[in-house]
Structure 1
Amino acid sequence: MSITAEHTTEYVDALAAFIAASPSSYHAAAETARLLRAAGFEPLSETDAWDTTAGRHYVIRDGAIIAWSQPAASTGLTPFRMLGAHTDSPGFKLKPKPTIGAHGWIQAGVEVYGGPLLNSWLDRELELAGRLVTRSGTEHLVRTGPFMRIPQLAIHLDREANSGLTLDRQRHTAPVYAVGDATQADLLGHLAQLAGVAAWDVAGYDILTADTAPLARFGLNHDLCAAGRMDNLTSVFAGLRGLLGASEDAGHISVLAAFDHEELGSETRSGASGPFLADVLGRLAAGLGASEGDRQRALAASWCLSADAGHAVHPNYPEKHDPANRPVAGGGPLLKINANQRYATDAHGAALWSRACAAAGVPYQEFVSNNTVPCGSTIGPLTATRLGIRTVDVGVPLLSMHSARELAQVDDLVALGAAAGAFFAGA
């Protein structure tokens, strides 16, 4: 395919809207569901019986969502083409008894979520976003918009700040959101009011922080892109676009699996180490009358793209990267490789990614870590281990990963979406 400037603008604008609508994993799942419904996908509930003989459906579990397009001719032997990603991003999560403060400032008590670059969250207008659950068990999404800020200590009071900034996770990360007497403030009451529920009825909550600045496209050629939560909403969005374009007559069942809690290790009911994907695939197989042998044969013929952000070479820290494999911004999405299987890519996976990128008409580039820099991991090895499905790890190259705002090149974003579409088309 030929990617035009108009297509790039449309894609990046749509990605910007998706990120803006997704300040938490729960919002990301809800926004994905909204876009799926608009395209004719039908929601299913895990507590109901499913008619899964054919069609396009999705199911939400907490902050995770799995959607699929199933051809009418599917049988118990029909393989799957899956793109796996995650909806959560590093930041801060609201603690119990969250209204704190001193010295005339009212603050929020927060706990570090995942592995954020702490300094990047200073002096930014942040919002709170997530879900409230009332005593009946009803869930309500809520977001504040620009609401709070983690103020940095002035350099006049820390003359060595530019020589090395050290933040205490407990003492230095509490955001301020008002002035006055903290004993007279009610943060949960404010969130309840925004959600349209009574404060006394809120029995539980999962509320996180998000940067409120919108995606910005900038630079000499207008080809740089900065936003919060690009790790990993760029992959969720690419998978969503690929799934929406998937043919209902394909020889496989196309699946988007967007998990929660990857930044925590994925060992939750809605994470990639949990049973969510296996539960859904098992119900689809049962609906198709598959025997256990049929199911194993279908999985053996299946593929999963584990799509998560990776690292472009940092121009100010080139020594942190492998000297021979140096992926650059604008060079195409990454094929992520690790000898110790922190990424699940093998030779067959490399060949599949090569075919998908060739069919999409986009370049790609290999990423491998410098031997002195420990490698992170993704949901790829987890999916391969739990289900035995061939899995390949890919993603867009970023700078400032786990910052409150990350940096990408727009062509790489569009290329990942195009390659995801080619993957779902059967390349």
Structure 2
Amino acid sequence: MTAPVTEAATRVTQVADGLCSYLDASPSPFHAVDSAAALLREAGFTELAETEATPTAPGRYVVRRGGSLLAWSTAEVGDARTPATPYRVVGAHTDSPNLRIKPRPDWTRAGWQMLGVEVYGGALTNSWLDRDLGLSGRVTVRDAGAPGGFSDRLFRTDDPVLRVSQLAIHLDRTVRSEGLQLNDQQHLAPHWGLGVGRRSFREWLAGLVEVDAEDLLGFDAMTHDLTPARRIGTDGELIASARLDNLATSYAAVRALLEAVESAPDATRRTPSIPLIVLFDHEEVGSMSERGAQSTFLPAWLERIVLAAGGTREDYWRALAGSVIASGDMAHATHPNYAERHEPEHPILMNGGPVLKVNTNLRYATDSLGAAAFALACEQAGVPMQTFVTRSDLPCGSTVGPMTSALTGATTVDFGAPVLSMHSTREICGTLDQAAYAAALAAFLAPRA
């Protein structure tokens, strides 16, 4: 007799399937933002251009800046809203380590057509070997009818056009004893054809987006693994995919915002807040760009929303003083083959629940106030919470949390969901964790009084 499917099991499946679809649709940060914006528009969010005036009427809105996105809702606060209403913010990032195409990439060697690439972020470069690779990103093309005379558009091919082939063991017997040693310039250039006289990469890309080569003015092109996201394990308890760091958090944030605005507490509650999510590009390379976490993107829009409500600069700073930001990035699950690399008193279990991330040297922004806000969100959502601390003799990674905390002065907490093989082309996370992750973030965005 087949056991009945519970509501909780149905939710786990829905979130897992939704995440896999989002991952497959988002090979680049630009596609990740496009996919997120589509989900929000389907739920009634209105997309704005940054050049438009910020709406004064309550509503649900989304805006993008390249590979970054920001969305919020003032519709649920109702009459309780004032210009100084604080925010509840969930932040994540859309970029992942990969191989990106150089501006003049074409060269030949030993009869092979090669492309020059740069390693973006802290990639596990060995994981890019011997894989079928596609290309995606953004192109900028000549457009006489557009401001400045140019416009941009997304491109993507899932044809296996590229491969980085590994050297046979017969030609390097030391690889087993000394480990694989890769030089980024010499060993990671993908090949994509044979012979001479072939069309250039720029000509190929122009054909892909159906413009003349002379009208292709620029491109942001990157490689992606063609293996789709899928549930693995005998019971499907894991999800394997590229870009889990950090699209799993981006998807959870979008889903949490949608759930928060549908289940917001009564508008007359004592401490109303505006739920908002921000998905930054360029976290993997330091966030110093016009759309990274160190940019004006978040603080400018927080202020614009206050001013659109009739507030002043004073109201803006008052709103920030009462706001709480949750900075989301994936967390290291304890690796069964390398358990000694983890803090022994803080094991992180796959499918053990969302992870509070703490670092005394402020690589994470968490303090006791932020930790309390996240703990209460997990409690409200009915999910367990784990706590990550790195070993004292190992360096610690960082997130967008310290940057957003410094730029806004708001209480900030860093959190994540457990993952193995971080920065590989193929990471894994827990299926149960994804539903718990989204539920905790929804509770954070819409806290009960």
Instruction: Quote how far apart the aligned CAs of 1:193 are.
Output: 1.9
Q: Which residue of 1 aligns with 2:248?
A: 234
Report the AA paired with residue 263 of structure 1.
E
**Aligned counterparts of 1:371 and 1:78: Cα–Cα separation in 2:** 40
**Aligned counterparts of 1:210 and 1:404: Cα–Cα separation in 2:** 8
2:412 corresponds to 1:391: yes
Instruction: Quote how far apart the aligned CAs of 1:91 are.
Output: 0.8
CA contact 1:80–1:253 (8 Å) conserved in 2: yes
**Aligned counterparts of 2:108 and 2:385: Cα–Cα separation in 1:** 50
Instruction: Quote how far apart the aligned CAs of 1:100 are.
Output: 2.0
| 42-51 vs 258-267, which moves further | 42-51
2:157 corresponds to 1:144: yes
**Aligned counterparts of 2:201 and 2:172: Cα–Cα separation in 1:** 31
Instruction: Quote how far apart the aligned CAs of 1:101 are.
Output: 2.4
CA contact 1:69–1:246 (8 Å) conserved in 2: no
Counterpart among 64, 69, 82 of residue 75 in structure 1 = 82
- SS at structure 1 position matched to 2:187: coil
**Aligned counterparts of 1:48 and 1:351: Cα–Cα separation in 2:** 37
Instruction: Quote how far apart the aligned CAs of 1:11 are.
Output: 0.9
Counterpart among 7, 14, 17 of residue 13 in structure 1 = 17
Report the AA paired with residue 279 of structure 1.
A
Q: Which residue of 2 aligns with 1:168?
A: 183
Counterpart among 147, 168, 178 of residue 193 in structure 2 = 178
Report the AA paired with residue 240 of structure 2.
A
Instruction: Quote how far apart the aligned CAs of 1:382 are.
Output: 0.4
CA contact 1:309–1:397 (8 Å) conserved in 2: yes
2:116 corresponds to 1:109: yes
Q: Which residue of 2 aligns with 1:256?
A: 277
Deviations along 1:294-345, one digit per CA (max 9) or x if unpaired, are 1111111111110100101111111111111111111111100000111011
Report the AA paired with residue 188 of structure 2.
T
**C-alpha root-mean-square deviation of aligned residues, in Å?**
1.3
- SS at structure 1 position matched to 2:150: coil
Deviations along 1:144-183, one digit per CA (max 9) or x if unpaired, are 11321111001111112222100000010011112221x4
**Aligned counterparts of 1:363 and 1:196: Cα–Cα separation in 2:** 51
2:202 corresponds to 1:188: yes
Instruction: Quote how far apart the aligned CAs of 1:197 are.
Output: 2.1
Q: Which residue of 1 aligns with 2:145?
A: none
**Aligned counterparts of 2:99 and 2:338: Cα–Cα separation in 1:** 27
Deviations along 1:15-72, one digit per CA (max 9) or x if unpaired, are 1110111100011111111111111111111112222331011111111010111134
| 228-237 vs 218-227, which moves further | 218-227
CA contact 1:144–1:191 (8 Å) conserved in 2: no
- SS at structure 1 position matched to 2:377: helix
Instruction: Quote how far apart the aligned CAs of 1:104 are.
Output: 1.9
Q: Which residue of 2 aligns with 1:63?
A: 67
- SS at structure 2 position matched to 1:17: helix
Counterpart among 30, 41, 48 of residue 45 in structure 2 = 41
| 88-97 vs 70-79, which moves further | 70-79
TM-score computed with the length of structure 1 as normaliser:
0.97
CA contact 1:246–1:425 (8 Å) conserved in 2: yes
Counterpart among 77, 90, 96 of residue 103 in structure 2 = 96
Report the AA paired with residue 421 of structure 1.
A
TM-score computed with the length of structure 2 as normaliser:
0.92
Count of paired positions = 425
Q: Percent identity?
A: 46
Alignment of 1:326-405 (within 5 A): 326-405=347-426
CA contact 1:99–1:185 (8 Å) conserved in 2: no
Counterpart among 17, 28, 36 of residue 32 in structure 2 = 28
Q: Which residue of 2 aligns with 1:84?
A: 91
Instruction: Quote how far apart the aligned CAs of 1:3 are.
Output: 6.2
**Aligned counterparts of 2:187 and 2:434: Cα–Cα separation in 1:** 35
- SS at structure 1 position matched to 2:236: coil
**Aligned counterparts of 2:198 and 2:163: Cα–Cα separation in 1:** 20
Alpha-carbon spacing, 1:11–1:299, altered in 2? closer, same or farther (3 Å): same
The gaps in structure 1 that reach 5 residues or longer are none
Counterpart among 192, 209, 215 of residue 223 in structure 2 = 209
**Aligned counterparts of 2:184 and 2:127: Cα–Cα separation in 1:** 13
Instruction: Quote how far apart the aligned CAs of 1:205 are.
Output: 0.8
Instruction: Quote how far apart the aligned CAs of 1:272 are.
Output: 0.3
CA contact 1:150–1:175 (8 Å) conserved in 2: yes
Report the AA paired with residue 30 of structure 1.
D
The gaps in structure 2 that reach 5 residues or longer are 1-5, 143-148
Report the AA paired with residue 300 of structure 2.
D
Alpha-carbon spacing, 1:352–1:260, altered in 2? closer, same or farther (3 Å): same
Counterpart among 115, 118, 131 of residue 125 in structure 2 = 118
